[in-house]
Structure 1
Amino acid sequence: MPLISASLKSPILLHSLSNRSLNPRFIFSTFLDSRAVVKQTFSFRQVTRAYSNMSGDGVAQFNLSPTSFLKIQKGDITRWLIDGSSDAIVNPANERMLGGGGADGAIHRAAGPELKTACYDVPEVRPGVRCPTGEARITPGFKLPASHVIHTVGPVYDVDSNAPASLSNAYRNSLRVARENNIQYVAFPAISCGVYGYPFDEAATVAISTIKEHCDAIKEVHFVLFSDDIYNVWLKKAGELLPN
């Protein structure tokens, strides 16, 4: 079978591994730089499902319930916006809630110093801890396009004795806080998949399964993912867990 290539907003090449199987396998190869290539294996059905749900702006949509949708896209979560009044981005914070590296630092920089001031005002539950692992807090978004920031703390994969439960709690409590504050649209990053070391495939399984179970009263849950390799894994896992 000849090489099949796909030109999308995400730089992905699609290669067939079989021309005889009724359900052939494919590889998505994402070129991160001149030396590194990230490869993910997909079945034909997963490819078809994911890309049949892809809109013209590169956003893949899946049904969570009759009234809720999951949308997966590449991008910068600090620029995400639905309506500026009932939307929130989720910040993968640390327990101090005073900013840090990665997405946490980027969100604080984009929101401006008012966000750190608001975080200082969140009561500590014990010295130095405003948001324990798995819990969530909410503040205004200040200079961010989205109206609110929901701060949650994911587990450190090699340290937490029950990392899947802690990660699930981070997603579940973020959605609970959203409902309590009349937030209809929520955008998540891939919690714990940076320096906290959570394996992407396992994290995607926990994230999408938890959101599917706890999406009540939320119109849209978004994943806004910065890197190609995480985006590819999330697309694949959504195709497996959310058959439309």
Structure 2
Amino acid sequence: MSTSPSDIPTLFDLYSSGAIKEEGSGARYGVDEAIIKRVSIWRGDITKLEADMIVNAANSSLLGGGGVDGAIHRAAGGELLDECEGLGGAKTGETKITKGYKLPSKWVAHTVGPIYSSSRKEKCAEQLKSCYSTSLELCKSHGGGSIGFSSISTGVYGYPIKDATRIALDTTRRFLENDDTVTRVIYVVFSAKDEEVYKSLAPEYFPPSAGN
């Protein structure tokens, strides 16, 4: 059974219900009620998300792998692999798009996150930012609407979850301030621990409105 973005609470809803509490005064951006109504944090199965686009944390071959990548390929069916075989792979930080096939999402953006190394911290950050920004741009250029992100590079690629989440939130905030075609950004997390990281950092980038 698929889940529609309309069934998922926004940050505005989470602030209103007390599910996210603002701690301290570390907001990096101003309050924008319209923007916090366009962002969600959801612990669920990205292959069940009925979004206009979902973002797959792919490897450079784009031919499937373990974790979320493998799950997306299995759920989409063999036609996804057939299309991916014609894409010629992708570089780190690059994103390529396919149809969703048997998935409830219309499109799949396959983005290649960096394999984290502390000695290449700045380069890794630049590449991860590119994963998010190029995926958002592809969503925009393919009609906008809702986009669901897996937590890129935080699994076997070893990117520290807090650092990766900050990049995800910051890149999204910058994009949404200059775009109104992407109507919902959903951060899809697998574990309760990762969900709490997103919830704890969200107020810095998407502070609640006075009404919350």
**Normalising TM by the smaller chain, what interval?**
0.7 to 0.9
Residue 233 of structure 1: which of 187, 197, 201 is its match? 197
* Residue aligning to 1:69: 38
Q: Is the 8 A contact 1:154 1:166 kept in 2?
A: yes
Q: Is residue 106 of structure 2 the alignment partner of residue 137 of structure 1?
A: no
> What displacement does 1:66 show?
3.3
Higher relative contact order (CA 8 A, sep 6+): 2
Q: Is residue 164 of structure 2 the alignment partner of residue 203 of structure 1?
A: yes
5+ residue gaps in structure 1?
Answer: 1-48, 125-129
Distance 1:241 1:226 in 2: 21
> What TM-score, normalized to structure 1?
0.69
Give me the identity figure in percent: 38
* Structure 1: 4+ residue segments shifted above 4 A: none
Q: Is residue 178 of structure 2 the alignment partner of residue 213 of structure 1?
A: no
Which of 1 and 2 has greater Rg? 1
> What displacement does 1:64 show?
6.6
Secondary structure at the aligned position of 1:90 is classed as: strand
List aligned pairs for 1:61-140, cutoff 5 A.
66=34, 69-82=38-51, 87-122=52-87, 124=88, 130-140=89-99
The code of the aligned residue for 2:61 comes to: R
> What displacement does 1:242 show?
1.0
Moved more, 67-76 or 135-144: 67-76
Distance 1:53 1:142, change over 3 A: farther
CA shift digits 1:77-111 (9 cap, x unpaired): 000114xxxx0110000111000001000000000
Q: Is the 8 A contact 2:20 2:199 kept in 1?
A: no
Distance 1:104 1:51, change over 3 A: same
The code of the aligned residue for 2:135 comes to: S
More helix as a share of residues: 2
Distance 2:95 2:129 in 1: 12
Q: Is the 8 A contact 1:88 1:147 kept in 2?
A: yes
Distance 2:63 2:151 in 1: 20
Secondary structure at the aligned position of 2:92 is classed as: coil
Distance 1:50 1:231, change over 3 A: farther
Secondary structure at the aligned position of 2:203 is classed as: helix
The code of the aligned residue for 1:240 comes to: E
> What TM-score, normalized to structure 2?
0.79
CA shift digits 1:194-242 (9 cap, x unpaired): 0000111111100000011113121110011111111110111112221
Distance 1:115 1:145 in 2: 13
Distance 2:149 2:95 in 1: 13
Residue 163 of structure 1: which of 124, 127, 137 is its match? 124
Secondary structure at the aligned position of 2:147 is classed as: strand
CA shift digits 1:150-208 (9 cap, x unpaired): 11011111178311111000000001111111131100011000000011111110000
More strand as a share of residues: 1
Q: Is residue 151 of structure 2 the alignment partner of residue 190 of structure 1?
A: yes
5+ residue gaps in structure 2?
Answer: 1-11, 22-30
Q: Is residue 187 of structure 2 the alignment partner of residue 223 of structure 1?
A: yes
Aligned residues: 182
